[in-house]
A and B are shown apart, each in its own frame.
Chain A
Amino acid sequence: MKKAIKSVIAVALASTMAATALAGCGAGSSSGSAASAGGSGEKVTLNLGYWDNERQGDTMRKLVAAYTKENPNVTINLQYTPYKGGEYWTKLDASMNGGTAPDVFWMNCLHAKKYVNGNMLEPLDDALKAANIDVTKDFPTALSQIYTFNSKVYAVPKDFDTNAVWYNKEIFDAAKVPYPKDGWTWEDMVATAKKLTNSSKGIYGIASPLDFQTCYWNTIFANGGSIVSSDSKSTLYSDAKTMGGIQPWIDLILKDKVSPDINTLTDNSADSLFESGKLAMCYGASYMIAEYLSSDTIKGKVNLVSLPTLNGSKGNVINGLGYAVYSKSKQKEAAKKLAAWLGSAEAQKIQGEVGAVISARNDAQQYFTKTQPSLNLQVYIDAVADSKPLPTLTVSSELFDNESKYLKQAWAGTMTLKDACAKLDADNKTLLEKEK
């Protein structure tokens, strides 16, 4: 018995020693190859971090397969971390402090500035030049702007999302209301929603959730308003144009009575109400397609139309992801080469054909619309021309939380929009002092 325990301990010790020896080896070889990595045939291992495995896992695996086929010396490990609850960013921050962040990783416009200011992202201009990619020409302007800081590019645009109105044909047919058409106005939408609202059946014409990106920022942009001043020193909620873009959403609940109230929309998201056939129309971003189509209740009964105009103008919020490179990567050259390739026509075609998201490249946007021929997906691409990006700030998550803190009271009708906006602007003054 004693002997057996001794041998178990010996094996355990030996295996830990082996493991540390291997770890030492790994570190040694990777730093050794750093100097010559890139074009040479030496073996390189890269980590690629991303957050959406459910909808885009297939895309990522296909991209990795294509790249490693062309570059057999490169091995790519996909590192998935969920986005929900900020887990992706918490882990990214921690691994950056520990020097073990992925070499290439997904970035979004809400977080880019923080990492650029912290010197965690590597400028990619030379790698893009080598790969013959010109971000200002190959991608929509709004997207190339998002990741350009001090005229250097810090991420290769990956995909983008814009917004449209989805509608449930079954509810329209039952109420004998014609389907909405492109070029419709906000007033048309309210009139249509009124005809479709049937409170005895629990069916509403449309939903007004407290969602800035999908809902009220679109109308703020359409109305010529904006959230943050051009010098990022103050917010502009109290601006008449900004409030003019928000008020119609509050009216949908309190005045027009065509949307569930904010309590209902907190208990049940607008998306889940639409997916269960309780909503006739719903604002939906392009990344929601897979989720909407996975609902058996509405599958085959939905289509989409461009956002209605407000006071005669169109407006849309564009947000796009990018591939960034960790500035302390031990394989920087190889990582930059991979990031640049992910923005190439070839890579963006692969992504577009899977159809989970719209490829950012101008020449690859078409593939996405072909993945669901029965749906009018072109409206998402047409929206790019009228769209503005989300602001890039280092304090964005605090700003959005402030926004919901006051606006939800306006949504509930316990505070006027004017008061809520005045409070927001006052509160945000100290917050934006931190903005660098």
Chain B
Amino acid sequence: MSIPNGQAQGLVRQKNKAKYRGWLCAYLFIAPLMIGLIVFYIIPFIQSVLYSFTDIDSFNNATFIGMANYQKMFTDPDMWRSLGNTLLWVVITVPIGILLSLIVAALLNTNIKGKSAYRTLYFLPVVTMPAAIAMVWKWIFNGQFGILNQFLALFGIPAHNWITDPKYAFWMVMIVGIWSAMGYNMVILLAGMQGISGSYYEVASIEGANPFQQFFKVTLPLLTPTLFFVLLTSIISGFQVFDIIYMMIGKGSPAYESTQTILMLYYRNAFDYSNKGYASAVAVFLFLIILVITAVQMKLQKKWVNYD
């Protein structure tokens, strides 16, 4: 059975045509996303890298200055303090935040009354504007008229300047950061928990495991992929913390220096001082830090993340 040559070519051509049509269709479907990504993320990213080697003014007149921005950055005490503050933020808020959202998710995964109401309540901070959150917490922490001081006065605890005293301010803002990120992590962990088949628990309870044993021996191991995702995104957003601190601590505040993070330093230089080249160098440095930490985590996940 042989097919005449011409006919075979025709078939191949038709096949190719169908293939191209399929590709074209696929590209068309991903185009809206890709165009957005390229225009708003990839091009600005490349620009930032280029800018970091230049001295650029507000009107985009750039002069190439080599590594000068990076040299300045590594000798800038502001930069090291900001980096230290950012690391402290990540080290404190990420573990505590994940632990709390895990506990809340576990509690809301049981059959309690009004659990959807609780879920909504815990998720509420996520859908609230950071500006509104910052305003409310600023009032709670207000040194003269704040609810926190009035509440503590009931127990005879003297008033403190919670967000203007450098001793307390950063810790107070961390509380707000943990509180506002908890809902998001909780929902993801909850979804992960509900994806665990009920038959595991059935077997576990037949074998006589109590709820705590069930949690540590069944839920936790099977939840590791979700936990890994939550850890990864929490660390990345921890390094990029900006809005809450920006809203709660003003430039004139005595606590400003002790709460300045890398992104705050970036913002001041890029938009307040028009030092766009220097700001770009800071942004590139932050990108590299996040890149390395994420790569290390991807490597380490094999040791603790359970994918079956």
Contacts and interface: CB of A to CB of B under 8 A. Distances in A.
Interface of A: 86, 90, 93, 96-97, 114, 118, 120, 202, 209-210, 262-264, 266-268, 395, 397-398, 401, 404-405, 408-409, 412
Given A86-B272, A401-B251, A408-B254, A267 B163 contact: yes
A96 B250 CA distance: 28
9 contacts: A118-B61, A263-B143, A264-B144, A268-B142, A268-B144, A268-B145, A398-B272, A408-B252, A412-B254
Given A97-B60, A263-B165, 16 more contacts: A86-B272, A93-B59, A114-B58, A118-B58, A202-B144, A262-B164, A263-B164, A263-B254, A266-B164, A267-B142, A267-B164, A395-B273, A397-B272, A401-B251, A408-B252, A408-B253
B257 A405 contact: yes
A113 to B, nearest CB: 12
A268 B142 CA distance: 8
Interface of B: 57-61, 138, 142-146, 161, 163-165, 250-254, 256-257, 268, 271-274
Contacts of A405: 256-257
Contacts of B164: 262-263, 266-267
A391 B121 CA distance: 51
Nearest to A90: B271
Interface SS of chain A: helix
Contacts of B250: 266
Contacts of A263: 143, 161, 164-165, 254
Contacts of B144: 202, 264, 267-268
A435 to B, nearest CB: 13
Nearest to A276: B145
Nearest to A268: B144
Contacts of A114: 58, 274
A233 B138 CA distance: 40
Contacts of A267: 138, 142-144, 146, 161, 163-164
Given A210-B252, A263-B254, A267-B163, A401 B274 contact: no
B272 A93 contact: no
Q: Which of B61, B250, B274 has the largest count of A CB atoms less than 10 A from its CB?
A: B274
A407 to B, nearest CB: 9
A332 B58 CA distance: 22
A401 B256 CA distance: 11
Contacts of A408: 252-254
Contacts of A97: 59-60
Q: Which of B59, B146, B163, B252 has the largest count of A CB atoms less than 10 A from its CB?
A: B252
Contacts of A210: 252
Q: Which of B144, B145, B250, B268 has the largest count of A CB atoms less than 10 A from its CB?
A: B144
Given A263-B164, A264-B143, A404 B272 contact: no
Contacts of A96: 58-59
Q: Which of A114, A120, A266 has the largest count of B CB atoms less than 10 A from its CB?
A: A266
Contacts of B251: 401, 404
Contacts of A268: 142, 144-145
A395 B165 CA distance: 29
Nearest to A98: B60
Nearest to B145: A268
A348 B112 CA distance: 69
Given A93-B58, A97-B60, A395-B273, A401 B268 contact: yes
B273 A266 contact: no
Contacts of B273: 395, 397-398, 401
A383 B143 CA distance: 36
Contacts of A398: 272-273
A93 B56 CA distance: 13
B254 A401 contact: no
Q: Which of B58, B250, B273 has the largest count of A CB atoms less than 10 A from its CB?
A: B58
A86 B58 contact: no
Contacts of A397: 272-273
B58 to A, nearest CB: 4
A209 B253 CA distance: 11
Contacts of A209: 252
A200 B250 CA distance: 29
A96 B60 CA distance: 10
Going nearest first, the 8 A-B pairs with the smallest beta carbon separation are A263-B161, A263-B164, A266-B164, A93-B58, A118-B59, A398-B273, A266-B253, A267-B142
Contacts of B145: 268
Nearest to B59: A118
A118 B274 CA distance: 13
A153 B250 CA distance: 35
A96 B254 CA distance: 36
A401 B142 CA distance: 23
Given A210-B252, A263-B161, A266-B252, A120 B59 contact: yes
A54 B250 CA distance: 23
A424 B13 CA distance: 76
Contacts of B252: 209-210, 266, 404, 408
B142 to A, nearest CB: 5
A401 B272 contact: yes
Contacts of B161: 263-264, 267
A118 B58 CA distance: 8
Contacts of A93: 58-59, 274
Nearest to B255: A266
A113 B274 CA distance: 14
A242 to B, nearest CB: 19
A202 B143 CA distance: 13
A51 to B, nearest CB: 16
B227 to A, nearest CB: 37
A325 to B, nearest CB: 16
A267 B248 CA distance: 10
Given A118-B58, A267-B142, A86 B271 contact: yes
A13 to B, nearest CB: 14
A202 B142 CA distance: 15
Contacts of B274: 93, 114
